[in-house]
Amino acid sequence: MPNRADNRGMTSLIPESPRPTRAKIVATIGPGSDSPEMVRKLIEAGVAVFRFNFSHGVFEAHKKRLVVVRSVAKELDRPVAVLGDLCGPKIRVGTIPKSFVPRGPMNQGGGAIELATGQDVVFRRGISEATVERERVAGQDLATPVLPVTYAPMTEEVEPGDRVLVNDGAIRMLAVERSRDGDWLRCRVTIGGLVTSSKGINLPDSRISAPAITEADWQSVAWAVENAVDFLALSFVRRADEVRELRRRLSSMVSSETPPIPIVSKIEKPEAVADLDEIIEASDAIMVARGDLGVEMDIAQVPVVQKEILARCQAWGRPCIVATQMLESMITAASPTRAEASDVANAIFDGADAVMLSGETAVGKHPALVVETMRRIITVAEARIAQSPHIESPPQKLIESKYATAALAHGAWHIAKDVGAKLIVCWSEAGGTARYLSQNDFHVPIIAYTSSPVAARRMALLRGVTPIRADAPPSGLLRDFTDMAERDMLAKGWIRHGEPMVLLAGKPLGTAKATNSIATLFVGDPNGGYRSHRS
């Protein structure tokens, strides 16, 4: 879109360049977005990663969607990643029979129970469906709802006085009594509302013994490995040991030649915030899962915690995804609220590598429009960042690592700054060089070539990186790669004749962990335009 003045005389911040945004868009696929036509629209609108939520649906449905995503991405010649999101020990209300008809609106034709403030509710283990019990209290005949739960130990582990929150805290209760044998737990409703089947339950005051990875999760892990999912998100992480446990299992499920699936740890528990650095170190990426985080802790703390997580991820050089309710109103509306637009922009200003859409694309009315809206917000925010003075430095943990490729990537930043490079182009067979370049927070687009489809898809999450799957030049010569990159960038309109770009590669080309040289190239200059800076 060309620069233009709006009706107030202000210059638009939307740049002319057709290059993708630096921050990536993660979109949840679901019933509202799983047709081949819609998947194509979403990819063209800017989706780099599709999230598959294992909390909903069956493997057969996930497989069909995976086939659609992979086939459409292949047709478009776009490396698009797939993120499998493990359910984790999410505690939910059990089944509410359809025979329960509340006074309020129904939920997709299912049953629901309307809870009034002040009434009692009983959670009971060992039952499959909700019931109602009649009992005499203070001379009155009262109807007490009895609800099943998916986590049987809940009735033993919640103490009187603990909070019990349903549906992301929209319905709030206080535990008042439990049976000696732990078969039931009585709660008093402090804020009422409509309860439907499978609504989530949060227990912010209780010590829950449930493992971070359930038996159902291990089935999802096996499916993810079998179907070559690109990332796995671990829900309700409390300690770094839980991430390491998943990594050990993933490593045992693949051959030594195949890199295990990278792990995205979801920060949504106060315990995870307390152990943040160790969890970040153990993970490949982090997700700020603000839904449960905002229920488990004081909502006023969530924006501060989000900023702290982003800052710590930058220090460690780990990609960070900001998720939950980013454009929530667009599930039904055709445009977001001003607050939602500011929320997305502020995540970009704070250095988020990716922003995520959940119900907006999974079940919303306008999946393609919501992605396009998010892309435009990112574009304008990044244009503002590019115009602002900023201090760039590699992550502190990266400096301490002493890795040769990390040092080479930082050297590329200095060269790019000195020559005013418009692009950074690298050959990154396994994705390592692209990852180090991304961690240096270049405000210059990074184009990463690889012959590996898996590496190309996994690089789709890296901020500022546009992966390109291509065969290495038959000669294996760096000069031939330079010619190929120059030709491709000109054809895409990402660079112009005479403009400089920085190239990183190694010998032999197409081999992992071989990056050992940097060069600058002034595009289209046959006389000394190529300058090598060998490490």
Q: Rounded distance, CA 378 to CA 24, Å?
A: 9
Q: Which of 324, 373, 450, 515 is catalytic?
A: 324
Q: Answer whether residue 1 is part of any domain.
A: no
| pLDDT value, residue 107 | 42
The predicted-structure confidence for 322-350, as pLDDT tens digits, reads as follows: 999 999 999 999 999 999 999 999 999 99
Q: Answer whether residue 191 is part of any domain.
A: yes
Q: Which of 51, 65, 178, 290 is catalytic?
A: 51
Q: What share of the chain is helix, strand, coil (3-state, %, to 5)?
A: 35, 25, 40
Closest Cα partner for 85 from 231, 185, 204?
Answer: 231
Q: Answer whether residue 177 is part of any domain.
A: yes
Co-location of 259 and 359 in the same domain? yes
Radius of gyration (Cα) for the chain, nearest Å? 26
Contacts of 367 (CB under 8 A, 6+ apart): 27, 32, 33, 38, 41, 42, 360, 361
Q: How many helices (H) and strands (E) does the chain have?
A: 17, 24
Co-location of 64 and 195 in the same domain? no
The predicted-structure confidence for 82-138, as pLDDT tens digits, reads as follows: 999 999 988 999 999 987 765 444 444 568 899 999 999 999 999 989 998 866 554
Indicate if 92 belongs to the active site.
yes
Instruction: List the CATH number of the domain containing 165.
Output: 2.40.33.10
CB 47 within 8 A of CB 376: no
Q: Rounded distance, CA 361 to CA 363, Å?
A: 6
Number of domains in the chain: 3
Indicate if 136 belongs to the active site.
no
pLDDT along the chain (535 residues), means of 10: 40 48 97 97 97 94 98 97 95 88 50 92 93 65 85 95 94 96 95 92 91 93 97 96 96 85 96 96 97 90 97 94 97 97 97 97 97 97 84 62 71 85 92 89 88 96 96 84 92 92 81 74 68 52
Co-location of 54 and 164 in the same domain? no
Give the number of other Cβ atoms within 10 Å of residue 208's Cβ. Answer: 16
Co-location of 349 and 221 in the same domain? yes
Sign of the alpha-carbon torsion through 289, 290, 295, 299: positive
| pLDDT value, residue 106 | 41
**pTM for the whole structure:** 0.87
Compute CA distances 276 → 88, 154, 246, whole Å. Answer: 18, 26, 17
Contacts of 330 (CB under 8 A, 6+ apart): 336, 340, 360, 364, 366, 369, 370, 373
Q: Answer whether residue 148 is part of any domain.
A: yes
What residue type is assigned to position 315 of the chain?
A
Q: Answer whether residue 192 is part of any domain.
A: yes
Indicate if 266 belongs to the active site.
yes
Q: Answer whether residue 30 is part of any domain.
A: yes
Q: Tell me which residue has tokens 């489809």.
A: 453
Instruction: List the CATH number of the domain containing 217.
Output: 3.20.20.60
Give the residue from 163, 178, 202 where a domain finishes: 202
| pLDDT value, residue 477 | 79
Q: Which domain holds residue 518?
A: 396-534
Co-location of 273 and 381 in the same domain? yes
Q: Which of 19, 40, 41, 266 is catalytic?
A: 266
Q: Answer whether residue 329 is part of any domain.
A: yes
Co-location of 455 and 522 in the same domain? yes
Q: Rounded distance, CA 148 to CA 150, Å?
A: 7
Residue 72: strand pairing partners = none
CB 509 within 8 A of CB 497: no
Co-location of 270 and 378 in the same domain? yes
| pLDDT value, residue 413 | 80
Co-location of 526 and 408 in the same domain? yes
Indicate if 458 belongs to the active site.
no
| pLDDT value, residue 341 | 98
Give the number of other Cβ atoms within 10 Å of residue 206's Cβ. Answer: 16
Q: Answer whether residue 207 is part of any domain.
A: no
Give the residue from 145, 174, 202 where a domain finishes: 202
| pLDDT value, residue 405 | 73
Co-location of 448 and 305 in the same domain? no
